[in-house]
Amino acid sequence: MEPFDLAVVGGGAAGFMTAITAAENGVKRIIILEGTSKLMEKVRISGGGRCNVTNATWIPNELIENYPRGGIQLLESFNRFAAGDVYDWFEKKGLKLKIEEDLRVFPVSNSSSDVIDCLRKSALSKNVEILTKFFVKEITKTPDNIFNIFSLKKAKVTSKNIILSTGGNPSGYKLAQNLGHTIVKPVPSLFTFSTKEPNLDECSGVSIRGIDIEINLNNKNFQNRGDLLITHWGFSGPAVLKLSSIAARELYSQKYKFDLIIKWSSLSYEELKEKINYLRLNKGKVNLINSRPVPLLTKRLWIFLLKKIGIDKEKKWADLLADEREKMINTLMRDKYIISGNNKS
């Protein structure tokens, strides 16, 4: 049998879009090789079974702001094929889409199966062949530049060109490396932080908006601002997930043992000092538990912080000692937590 013009290894969404795009640009004989018995399984379960197709942020410069890192590199790709192009691509192939309030784009049907059907039918309409249960074990290249693609069961497919579309599957990295590519070892990203901080679990479920957090590792400072969620194991939420991505390699090198600094207040030292003095003078008879210098702190979180500082929550503002005021300011400005590991979200 004559070699295929293109073999795409991986039957996920990217593999199908690759094959369809190649066919639309004149490539004749194309085959998709999928190692499992099911195509686009991750598409099926994505978005809670609805499949978040893209995001309705049409301007590439604005879209890259949603990426923790690699934005500049992605900008070139988005300028060639942006979110708006994705929207048009699917609509022209018969998949009706809708934009939700948070700008996420879903099928009108709210069914990921319709996305799968759209990609599969589009590929078949372009005479793309699809072969499942063909897990690629090895790829060799002949002197006349033909790729021999072998499955686990020794079956063989030949092709003039090959594209690896294996996502995060380790097999893809191994195949690329065997073909002469240099692989930069991937490390975990987008994870939450675990801590053994006493009593923090009492704040489980507490969410705070617009918090600054930072990590200092290997003479590098990593910062992020966003919403923070306290869980029974530590810290989560957009602020933490993005910071874990920004500092992914450094955190990996430290085996996820590091100090997390949380700034509970956006006020400066002098502003916080002034606020606390105001409470002492104007609400001196009020217990600390009933009046907070930082309004965004929930009552549970404020009680936890007072306990961590070592100040009685029933103490009145007028009775707050100078060293206690200093501890309070320092904690609200730079609260430190020893992180003992990562927890994949």
What is the SS3 assignment for 136?
strand
Q: Are residues 85 and 154 in the same domain?
A: yes
pLDDT in the model for residue 344: 64
The last residue of one of the domains, among 126, 152, 178, is: 178
Say how far apart CA 309 and CA 334 lie, in whole Å: 12
Q: Are residues 11 and 36 in the same domain?
A: yes
pLDDT in the model for residue 78: 94
Question: E strand or H helix at 325, and its extent?
Answer: helix 322-333
CA-derived radius of gyration, the chain? 27
pLDDT in the model for residue 107: 98
Q: Are residues 163 and 219 in the same domain?
A: no
* Single pTM value for the model: 0.77
- In a domain, residue 110? The reply is yes
Give the residues across from 140 on adjacent strands. 148
* Residues of the chain by 3-state class (helix, strand, coil), percent to 5: 40, 25, 35
- In a domain, residue 183? The reply is no
Q: What is the pLDDT of residues 227-252, one digit of tens each?
A: 999 999 999 999 999 999 999 999 99
Q: Are residues 131 and 212 in the same domain?
A: no
Phi then psi for residue 334, to 5 deg, are -150, 80
Neighbour count for residue 99 (Cβ, 10 Å): 13
Q: Are residues 281 and 248 in the same domain?
A: yes
Cβ-based neighbours of 95, under 8 Å, separated by 6 or more: 107, 114, 115, 118
Instruction: List the domain range (segments joined by +) for residue 233.
Output: 190-345
pLDDT in the model for residue 343: 78
Q: Are residues 273 and 166 in the same domain?
A: no
Q: Are residues 19 and 94 in the same domain?
A: yes
Low-confidence stretches of the chain (pLDDT beneath 50): 345
pLDDT in the model for residue 11: 96
Q: Are residues 287 and 197 in the same domain?
A: yes
Q: Are residues 211 and 89 in the same domain?
A: no
pLDDT in the model for residue 66: 80
* Cα–Cα separations (whole angstroms), residue 12 to 7, 36, 84, 85, 213: 14, 11, 21, 19, 36
Say how far apart CA 340 and CA 244 lie, in whole Å: 14
CA 209, chain centre distance (Å): 19
Contact 235, 205 (CB under 8 A): no
Question: E strand or H helix at 163, and its extent?
Answer: strand 162-164
Q: What is the pLDDT of residues 311-326, one digit of tens each?
A: 999 999 999 999 999 9
Q: Are residues 149 and 197 in the same domain?
A: no
